[in-house]
Structure 1
Amino acid sequence: MVEYFTDDKQKLDLYLDWTKKAKNIVITSHQNPDGDAFGSALGLWNYLKQFDIEKVTFISPTDYADFIAWMPGVPAIVVYDNKNKALANELIAEADLIFCTDFSSGSRMKDMKDAVLNSFSKKIIIDHHEQPESFGDLLYWNEHASSTCELIYQMIVKLGHESMIDLDVATCLYTGLLTDTGSFKYPATTPEVHNIAGKLLAKGVVPSSINRSLFDQNDFEKLQFLGYVLSKKMTYLPEYRVCYTSISEKELKKYNSKNGDTEGIVNYGLSIAGSVMSAIFIEKEGLIKISFRSVHDFSVADLARDYFEGGGHKNAAGGRSNLSLEETVQKFLTLLPYLKSQLELQPN
Structure 2
Amino acid sequence: MFDSFQISALKNLLVPQNKIVIITHYNPDGDAIGSSLGLKHFLKQKGLEADVIVPNDFPKFLKWMPEAKQVIIADYKRKIAGEAIYNADVIFILDFNASHRSGNLVGPWIEKARAKKILIDHHQQPDNFDFVYSDVTIPATSQMVYHFIEALGEEELVNKEIADCLYTGIMTDTGGFRFRSTSATTHRITAKLIENGADPAQITSSTWDTNTVSRLHLLALILGRIEVVKDGKVAILWLKRDELKQYGFQKGDTEGFVNYGLSIMGTQVSAFFMEDLYEDFVKISFRSKDYVDVNQFSRNHFDGGGHINAAGGKYMKSIEETIEDFKVKIEGEEF
Q: State the TM-score, normalizing by the size of structure 1.
A: 0.92
Which segments of structure 1 move beyond 3 Å, counting only runs of 4 or more?
none
Counterpart of 1:104 in structure 2 is: 97
Instruction: State percent identity of aligned pairs.
Output: 38
8 Å Cα contact 1:97/1:121 also seen in 2:
yes
Amino acid at match of 1:148: T
Counterpart of 1:346 in structure 2 is: none
Deviation for aligned residue 1:13: 2.3
Secondary structure of 2:45 counterpart = coil
Counterpart of 1:176 in structure 2 is: 169
Counterpart of 1:298 in structure 2 is: 292
8 Å Cα contact 2:7/2:151 also seen in 1:
no
Q: Distance in 1 between matches of 2:133 and 2:159?
A: 22
Question: Cα deviation per residue 1:216-267 (whole Å; 9 max; x = unaligned)?
Answer: 11112211221111113x2111525111112111111111111111110000
Unaligned runs of 5+ in 2: none
Deviation for aligned residue 1:106: 2.0
Give the 5 Å matches for 1:324-339: 324-339=318-333
User: Among residues 316, 321, 326, which one is paired with 1:322 in the alignment?
Assistant: 316
Counterpart of 2:222 in structure 1 is: 229
Deviation for aligned residue 1:141: 1.7
RMSD over equivalenced CA pairs, Å: 1.3
Deviation for aligned residue 1:337: 2.3
User: Among residues 115, 125, 145, which one is paired with 1:152 in the alignment?
Assistant: 145
Counterpart of 1:275 in structure 2 is: 267
Q: Distance in 2 between matches of 1:327 and 1:10?
A: 52
Counterpart of 1:312 in structure 2 is: 306
Amino acid at match of 2:172: T
Deviation for aligned residue 1:327: 2.1
Deviation for aligned residue 1:288: 1.5
Q: Distance in 2 between matches of 1:177 and 1:131?
A: 21
Amino acid at match of 1:202: E
Range that drifts further, 263-272 or 22-31 = 22-31
Q: Distance in 1 between matches of 2:86 and 2:126?
A: 23
Give the 5 Å matches for 1:74-223: 74-81=68-75, 83-110=76-103, 111-134=105-128, 136-223=129-216
Counterpart of 2:29 in structure 1 is: 34
Deviation for aligned residue 1:22: 4.7
8 Å Cα contact 1:97/1:122 also seen in 2:
yes
Counterpart of 1:60 in structure 2 is: 54
Amino acid at match of 1:38: I
Secondary structure of 2:224 counterpart = helix
Unaligned runs of 5+ in 1: 344-348
Q: Cα distance 1:240–1:223, how it changes in 2: closer, same or farther (>3 A)?
A: closer
8 Å Cα contact 1:25/1:96 also seen in 2:
yes
Range that drifts further, 197-206 or 321-330 = 321-330
Amino acid at match of 1:177: I
